[in-house]
Amino acid sequence: MKEQCRETLVMAVQILDGQSVPDEQRSSIEAHLHDCAPCFERLGLEREVKNLIARLKGSTHCPDHVRSRVLEIFLEEPSA
């Protein structure tokens, strides 16, 4: 994964988590997602996963090794 994509996705996930991001960074994220379909798709998947987790929150604990593996998969290069 390109470093720009990785950095954009990290910041975009921060926004999904409700963290504050400066307006100029937000504009940069939006521009990148507009131009980069793989990042746009990954962010959509991240949003879906977060929504699913929110619905299941409290029903079970996610083991640390599973959480780590999900993050690894999220940051891997997409196979095309």
pLDDT band, very low/low/confident/very high, at 50 (cuts 50, 70, 90): confident
pLDDT band, very low/low/confident/very high, at 52 (cuts 50, 70, 90): confident
In a domain, 54, yes or no: yes
In a domain, 80, yes or no: no
List the domain range (segments joined by +) for residue 11: 3-75
Query: Which single residue is written with the structure tokens 């929504």?
Result: 51
In a domain, 33, yes or no: yes
Give residues with Cβ within 8 angstroms of 4, minimum separation 6: 32
Largest CA distance in the chain: 38
- Total domains in the chain come to 1
Quick check: 15 and 26 in contact, CB under 8 A? yes
In a domain, 51, yes or no: yes
In a domain, 26, yes or no: yes
- How many CB atoms are closer than 10 A to CB 32? 19
pLDDT tens sequence across 1-29: 789 999 999 999 888 888 888 888 999 99
What's the average model confidence in pLDDT over 37-62? 83
